[in-house]
Amino acid sequence: MALIVQKYGGTSVADGARIGHVADKVCAARRAGHDLLVVVSAMAGETDRLLSLGKNISQRPNPRELDVLLATGEQVSIALLAIALEKRGLSACSFTGGQVCIRTDDAHTKARILAIDEDKLRDTLARGCIPVVAGFQGVDAAGNITTLGRGGSDTTAVALAAALKADECQIYTDVDGVYTTDPRMVPEARRLARITFEEMLELASLGSKVLQIRAVEFAGKYNVPLRVLSTFKEGAGTLITYEDTAVEAAIVSGIAFNRDEAEITLIGVPDVPGTAYRILGPVAAANIVVDMIVQNVARGGRLDFSFTIHRNDYPQTIDIMQANLRHIGAEQVVGNDRVVKISIVGVGMRSHAGVASSVFQALSEEDISIRMVATSEIKISVVVEEKHLELGVRTLHAAFRLHEPPQQDFLQRSAGASRRRGGITG
C-alpha cells in the first residue's frame, strides 16, 4: 500500500460534474488500496476572477488583502470535493493551508514554503480519512494568509508529498503528460514515459508550461517522484525522476521553443577591457533580462557583440544602446525582433559527441540559418528567424527521431559523418 499525493488543477474541478469525476478517480485509487492525500486548485478561471474583483477597486491592492481574497478560490474547491467524496461513502476532511500549518515567509502573492507540520495530516490519514488540502496557500509566522504565486498548487502538492515522504506525487491536469515537443506544432510529438528533473526544468523554463517550475525544483531537491497525468484520459502519464538507465538511452528527450525573442548587435566595439560591462550594465540597470550573449574575436581592434532579450524589452533596449553608443565606442547598433529560440534538451548529451553538429547539419539541409548558438551540458539552443520556427522544430524532431521510442540512437546509426567531424559538445 502506497501513500500517494494527488493534485487536481483548475480545469479538473471546473464545475460540479468534473468535481464528481475527480471524486470517482480518488475512490478508484482508494479501492486499489492506496492512502491518499488530495490537493486542489481553485475552479478554472476563479483566481483570475478574484484578481480582477480586487483590481477593479484598486490598481494596486494591498498584497496582504489580495492573498486573503485569492485564497478563497481554493477554499471553495476543497469543500466541494470533500462533499463529493463523502457522498461516495469515503471519509474525507478539507483543510486550508493554515489549518495544516503550511508555514511560509511573508512575501505576499509569491511566498515560499518554509515548513509543514505534518502531524494533523498523519492523524487524519491514520483514521482512514482523506485529507483534501487547499493548494496555493499558506500562513506566515504571524498567521497572515499567504499565496505561493500563480500555479502554486503544484508546489503545495510536492511540498506535502516531500513532508509525508509519499511514494509519488501525481499532478492531474488537462494534458496527458510531457511531450517531446508541442503536439500542436508537430503532430508526431510523442508522450514521454519518463524524463529527468533536470530535463523537465530545462523544458519548463524554455516555455513548456506543464508544471510550475518551482514545483519541479522542489521535487528534485527532495527527490519526490512526480507524475503528470490527465484527469480526463486514462494513461500512465509522464514520470519525472532522477536519471536512470532507461532515461539515459535517449540523447535528446525534447524540444522547446520560445517565440518572444529579440536580438541586438553592436557593431565595431573597441576590444578593450570593460566593453561587455559598458554594454550590458545599463541593460541590467533597467531590469531587462539578457539571455544569450555572443562576443566575437576582435579583428583590427574591434569586434561585434550580440545578445538576446525578451521581445517586449526590444524598443527600450535599442533606446538604451543608442543613448550609450558613444560611451561604448561602438560604430552602430542593429537589431531584429523577429527571431525565436529553439532548444533541444537531453541528459544523454553529456556522454555523446556530435549532438551540436547533428543540429547544424539538419538545419542546414533545410536552409535554415543559425544566428546564435548557446550550449549547456544538457541543452543546445539556437536562435533562428521567426519564419523558420515551425520548420526548424519539425526538422530537429525528425532528425533526432523523437517520434520513435528512445531505444534507437540517431547519432550512432546515421550521423557517423558528423561524429568524425566532431561536435562542439564533445
What does 237 bind: ligand ASP, Mg ion, none (CB cut-off 5 to 8 Å by kind)?
none
What does 135 bind: Mg ion, ligand ASP, none (CB cut-off 5 to 8 Å by kind)?
ligand ASP
Query: Minimum CB separation from Mg ion for residue 349, in Å?
Result: 29
* Part in contact with Mg ion (CB under 5 A); list of ranges 16-24, 113-121, 151-159, 217-225: 151-159
What does 42 bind: ligand ASP, Mg ion, none (CB cut-off 5 to 8 Å by kind)?
ligand ASP
Query: Minimum CB separation from Mg ion for residue 66, in Å?
Result: 19
Residue nearer to ligand ASP on the CB measure, 40 or 266: 40
Give me the residue label for grid cell 499532478.
171
- Judged on CB neighbours under 10 Å (0-12, 13-18, 19+), 143 is exposed
Query: Minimum CB separation from ligand ASP for residue 426, in Å?
Result: 41
Alpha helix (H) residue ranges in 88-237: 119-126, 153-163, 197-205, 213-222
Q: Which of 5, 6, 9, 227 binds Mg ion (CB under 5 A)?
A: 9
Query: Minimum CB separation from ligand ASP for residue 49, in Å?
Result: 10
CA dihedral 414, 254, 245, 361 (to 10 degrees): 20
Longest dimension (CA), the chain: 81
C-beta separation of 405 from 180 below 8 A? no
Query: Minimum CB separation from ligand ASP for residue 47, in Å?
Result: 3
Query: Minimum CB separation from Mg ion for residue 151, in Å?
Result: 4
Residue nearer to Mg ion on the CB measure, 73 or 423: 73
Residue nearer to ligand ASP on the CB measure, 13 or 415: 13
What does 150 bind: Mg ion, ligand ASP, none (CB cut-off 5 to 8 Å by kind)?
ligand ASP
Query: Minimum CB separation from Mg ion for residue 257, in Å?
Result: 21
Query: Minimum CB separation from Mg ion for residue 47, in Å?
Result: 10
What does 406 bind: Mg ion, ligand ASP, none (CB cut-off 5 to 8 Å by kind)?
none
Residue nearer to ligand ASP on the CB measure, 150 or 338: 150
* Part in contact with Mg ion (CB under 5 A); list of ranges 2-10, 140-148, 216-224, 417-425: 2-10
Report the relative pairing of strands 238-241 and 194-196 from DSSP bridges.
Answer: parallel
Residue nearer to ligand ASP on the CB measure, 156 or 308: 156
- DSSP secondary structure letters along 155-178: HHHHHHHHHTT-SEEEEEESSSS-
Residues 6+ apart with CB under 8 A from 348: 248, 249, 250, 251, 252, 253
The footprint of ligand ASP (CB under 6 A) covers 9-10, 41-42, 47, 73, 135-136, 150-154
- Adjacency order of strands within the sheet including 113-116: 113-116, 102-104, 137-139, 145-147
Cβ neighbour number for residue 319 with a 10 Å cutoff: 11
Residue nearer to ligand ASP on the CB measure, 32 or 53: 53
Question: Does 135 interact with Mg ion (rule: CB under 5 A)?
Answer: no
Q: How far is residue 281's CA from residue 313's CA, in Å, rounded to a whole number?
A: 15
What does 131 bind: Mg ion, ligand ASP, none (CB cut-off 5 to 8 Å by kind)?
none
Residue nearer to ligand ASP on the CB measure, 214 or 341: 214
Among residues 94, 84, 70, the alpha carbon closest in space to that of 13 is found at 84
Residue nearer to Mg ion on the CB measure, 156 or 343: 156
| Phi, psi at 190, each rounded to 5° | -115, 145
- Burial track 263-296 (b if 16+ CB lie within 10 A, e otherwise): bbbbeebeeeeebeebbeebbeeeebebbbebbe
- Burial track 112-135 (b if 16+ CB lie within 10 A, e otherwise): bbeebebeebeebbeeeebbbbbb
C-beta separation of 40 from 134 below 8 A? yes
Question: Does 151 interact with Mg ion (rule: CB under 5 A)?
Answer: yes
What does 354 bind: Mg ion, ligand ASP, none (CB cut-off 5 to 8 Å by kind)?
none
- DSSP secondary structure letters along 32-72: TT-EEEEEE-PSTTHHHHHHHHHHHH-SS--HHHHHHHHHH
What does 136 bind: ligand ASP, Mg ion, none (CB cut-off 5 to 8 Å by kind)?
ligand ASP
Query: Minimum CB separation from ligand ASP for residue 172, in Å?
Result: 12
Beta-ladder partners of 145: 139
Task: List interacting residues with Mg ion (CB under 5 A).
Answer: 9, 151
